[in-house]
């Protein structure tokens, strides 16, 4: 029987821990740092996800057989390199391979070199040059900070005034750091998320899902980390999926091998179905959050075997997924993604008829309290999306808290 360490402490990691807890091969799960919900299924350890030395020390002393990494910050900090150098098995990419997410310019060059469809672009470090380039092109203009920016580094500027402000913030004030700015063509169409387990050239697809980035109904309001997700996308055909698999995900994986930085973990394609075909909006080097919470409940094979095979460079055998569909609704603190208060009591989680993943909770006097921007995500299965929707909103209505809000239109692109 195996001991597994999961790194991270959000809803994504709760879904990973939940899937591992169904494994017949795993007897002990640690999660660093975890959260109050994860603590019901794993032993939480107070080590930060970017404390590579601390995690390595922990894994060594507790005889951890396999470590699974959630957040990109840990991967960028070199956790996988350090574990492998120490002879420890880990599911997660090297820091060099994580550049497919952490550097927009690296990702763009990879796509250009290996013929992967994406918006054309130019990158700038000089404010005046960027401004001149943008002023000569049609609006809206897509401006992306080239580095990790916690999902806030992308601005779709409607006019020159907005472009000037965004470029000044990124290139003059260095709001996110010293990175460059990528200016790219504006694309239109439904977006979807395609996550695959990847080990070098081998690419194993997961069911497609769709996130909802804006805070409010009707896709209004500020961009967030994601307010809800579902699987079973009616607007993506089998041919679309096959194209995305072969021409995007497999090409990216083999491109990374050719570049000398093979992938070993999850490759996440943030894709858009445009009138001109499917194109890449971004790559991430990890499971998506909240996509993982709707995708992993559909896995019918033992997830330990999948993680362990990828981490060891063995082929993944017999990956099986349920035909059901899932939907999840994020319940977030009022004010998120801006400022919000924490510490509000939450009731009804255990009574809710759903898988309730904890994204940001803590315990106070044996009661759950809010402890983050995104707090909870109830997820339900159904034979159809309409069924999953009815169930999940019923579960949401059973959860009581004075300081939470949620979107009431998850999956509107599929159902309305
Ligand atoms: P990213 O962080 O690159 O995924 O961008 C965040 C969001 O900005 C995406 O989910 C899209 O909705 C939007 N976006 C990014 N790039 C483009 C583009 N080239 N055209 C239109 N929308 C975009
Ligand atoms: N849901 C988008 C992400 O994980 O980046």
* Closest alpha carbon to 11 in 214, 219, 226: 226
Residue 79, pLDDT above cutoff 90: yes
What is the three-state SS of 91-149? ECCCHHHHHHHHCHHHHHHHHHHCCCCECCEEEECCHHHHHHHHHCCCCCEEEEECCCC
Nearest ligand to the C-alpha atom of residue 139: 1
Give the architecture-level CATH label for domain 2-92. 3-Layer(aba) Sandwich (3.40)
pLDDT of residue 222: 87
Count the Cβ atoms, other than its own, within 10 Å of residue 251.
Answer: 18
In this prediction, residues 250-255 reach a mean pLDDT of 98
**What is the three-class DSSP state of 283?**
strand
Give residues (CB < 6 A) around ligand 1: 119, 142, 144, 154, 156, 184-187, 191, 213, 270, 281-282
Residue 189, pLDDT above cutoff 90: yes
- Band of residue 179 on the pLDDT scale cut at 50, 70, 90: confident
How far is residue 333 from each of residues 69, 137, 247, 317, measured CA to CA in Å? 26, 39, 39, 41
In this prediction, residues 150-160 reach a mean pLDDT of 83
Distance (Å, rounded) from C-alpha 363 to C-alpha 124? 46
Residues 6+ positions from 366 with CB-CB distance below 8 Å: none
* Closest alpha carbon to 5 in 53, 50, 70, 51: 70
**What is the three-class DSSP state of 197?**
strand
* Closest alpha carbon to 276 in 118, 87, 97: 118
Per the CB < 8 A criterion, the answer to whether 211 and 288 are in contact is yes
Is the pLDDT higher at 287 or at 104?
287
How far is residue 308 from each of residues 61, 298, 371, measured CA to CA in Å? 20, 19, 32
Best residue among 100, 156, 214, 215 to mutate for probing ligand 1, ranked by most atoms within 8 Å of CB: 156
Best residue among 71, 149, 151 to mutate for probing ligand 2, ranked by most atoms within 8 Å of CB: 151
Per the CB < 8 A criterion, the answer to whether 288 and 209 are in contact is yes
Whose CA is closest to atom 2 on ligand 2? 288
- Band of residue 305 on the pLDDT scale cut at 50, 70, 90: very high
In this prediction, residues 236-255 reach a mean pLDDT of 98
CATH of domain 120-184: 3.30.1490.20
- Band of residue 151 on the pLDDT scale cut at 50, 70, 90: low
Between helices 11-21 and 303-312, what is the axis angle to 10°? 110
pLDDT of residue 176: 87
Residue 228, pLDDT above cutoff 70: yes
Q: Which residues pair with 32 in a beta bridge?
A: 7
Structure tokens at 177: 């750091």
Is the pLDDT higher at 66 or at 223?
66
Structure tokens at 310: 């990828």
CA 281 / ligand 1 centre spacing (Å): 6
* Closest alpha carbon to 80 in 196, 199, 203: 199
Residues above pLDDT 70, as percent of the chain:
99
In this prediction, residues 13-21 reach a mean pLDDT of 98
What is the tens place of the pLDDT at every residue in 332-372?
999 999 999 999 999 999 999 999 999 999 999 999 999 99
What is the tens place of the pLDDT at every residue in 83-118?
999 999 999 999 999 999 998 889 999 999 999 999
In this prediction, residues 25-39 reach a mean pLDDT of 97
Q: What CATH fold (topology level) applies to the domain 325-415?
A: 3.90.600
Residues above pLDDT 90, as percent of the chain:
93
Average pLDDT over the chain, rounded to an integer: 96
CA 87 / ligand 2 centre spacing (Å): 30
How far is residue 117 from each of residues 67, 120, 201, 235, 273, measured CA to CA in Å? 33, 9, 19, 19, 11
User: Which atom of ligand 1 lies nearest, measured to the CA of 282?
Assistant: 3
Best residue among 73, 208, 270 to mutate for probing ligand 2, ranked by most atoms within 8 Å of CB: 270
Residue 317, pLDDT above cutoff 80: yes
Whose CA is closest to atom 1 on ligand 1? 282
Cβ–ligand 2 distance for 65 under 6 Å, the answer no
CA atoms within 13 A on the CB side of 312: 11
CA 193 / ligand 2 centre spacing (Å): 8
Distance (Å, rounded) from C-alpha 36 to C-alpha 368? 7
Nearest ligand to the C-alpha atom of residue 153: 1
**What is the three-class DSSP state of 165?**
helix
Residues 6+ positions from 381 with CB-CB distance below 8 Å: 297, 298, 322, 324, 325, 326, 388, 391
Task: Return the sign of the alpha-carbon dihedral for residues 259, 73, 119, 291.
Answer: positive
pTM of the model: 0.95
The ranges assigned to domains in the chain are 2-92, 120-184, 189-312, 325-415
State CA 397 to chain mean position distance: 26
Whose CA is closest to atom 3 on ligand 2? 288
* Closest alpha carbon to 106 in 287, 310, 252, 286: 252
Domain 189-312 sits in which CATH superfamily? ATP-grasp fold, B domain (3.30.470.20)
- Asked if the peptide bond before residue 337 counts as cis, ω within 30 degrees of 0, the response is yes
pLDDT of residue 150: 61
pLDDT of residue 153: 81
Distance (Å, rounded) from C-alpha 267 to C-alpha 26? 24
Nearest ligand to the C-alpha atom of residue 140: 1
Q: Which residues pair with 156 in a beta bridge?
A: 142
User: Which atom of ligand 1 lies nearest, measured to the CA of 213?
Assistant: 10
What is the tens place of the pLDDT at every residue in 260-271?
999 999 999 999
* Closest alpha carbon to 266 in 233, 222, 299: 299
């Amino acid at each position: 029987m195996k001991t597994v360490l999961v790194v991270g402490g959000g809803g994504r990691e709760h879904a990973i821990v939940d899937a591992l807890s169904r494994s017949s091969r795993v007897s002990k799960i640690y999660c660093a740092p975890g959260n109050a919900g994860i603590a019901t299924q794993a032993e939480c350890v107070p080590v930060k996800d970017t404390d590579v030395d601390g995690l390595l020390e922990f894994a060594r002393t507790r005889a951890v057989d396999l470590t699974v990494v959630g957040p990109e910050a840990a991967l960028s900090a070199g956790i996988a390199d350090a574990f492998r150098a120490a002879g420890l098995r880990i599911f997660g990419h090297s820091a060099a391979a994580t550049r497919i997410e952490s550097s927009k310019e690296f990702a763009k060059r990879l796509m250009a070199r290996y013929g992967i469809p994406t918006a054309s672009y130019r990158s700038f470090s000089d404010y005046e040059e960027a401004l001149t380039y943008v002023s000569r092109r049609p609006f809206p203009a897509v401006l992306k900070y080239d580095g990790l920016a916690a999902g806030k580094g992308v601005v779709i500027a409607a006019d020159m005034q907005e472009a000037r402000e965004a470029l000044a913030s990124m290139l003059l004030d260095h709001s996110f750091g010293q990175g460059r700015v990528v200016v790219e063509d504006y694309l239109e169409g439904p977006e979807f998320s395609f996550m695959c387990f990847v080990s070098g050239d081998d690419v194993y697809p997961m069911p497609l899902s769709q996130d909802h980035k804006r805070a409010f109904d009707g896709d209004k309001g500020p961009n967030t980390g994601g307010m809800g997700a579902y699987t079973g996308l009616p607007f993506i055909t089998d041919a679309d999926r096959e194209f995305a698999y072969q021409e995007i995900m497999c090409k990216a994986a083999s491109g990374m091998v050719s570049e000398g930085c093979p992938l070993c973990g999850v490759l996440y394609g943030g894709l858009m179905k445009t009138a001109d075909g499917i194109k890449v909006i971004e790559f991430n080097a990890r499971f998506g959050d909240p996509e993982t919470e709707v995708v992993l409940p559909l896995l019918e094979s033992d997830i330990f075997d999948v993680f362990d095979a990828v981490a060891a460079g063995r082929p993944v055998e017999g990956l099986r997924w349920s035909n059901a569909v899932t939907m999840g609704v994020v319940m977030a603190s009022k004010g998120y993604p801006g400022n919000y208060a924490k510490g509000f009591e939450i009731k009804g989680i255990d009574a809710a008829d759903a898988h309730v993943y904890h994204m940001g909770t803590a315990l106070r006097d044996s009661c759950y309290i809010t402890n983050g921007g995104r707090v909870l995500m109830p997820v339900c299965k159904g034979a159809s999306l309409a069924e999953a929707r009815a169930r999940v909103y019923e579960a949401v209505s059973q959860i009581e808290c004075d300081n939470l809000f949620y979107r009431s239109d998850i999956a509107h692109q599929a159902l309305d």
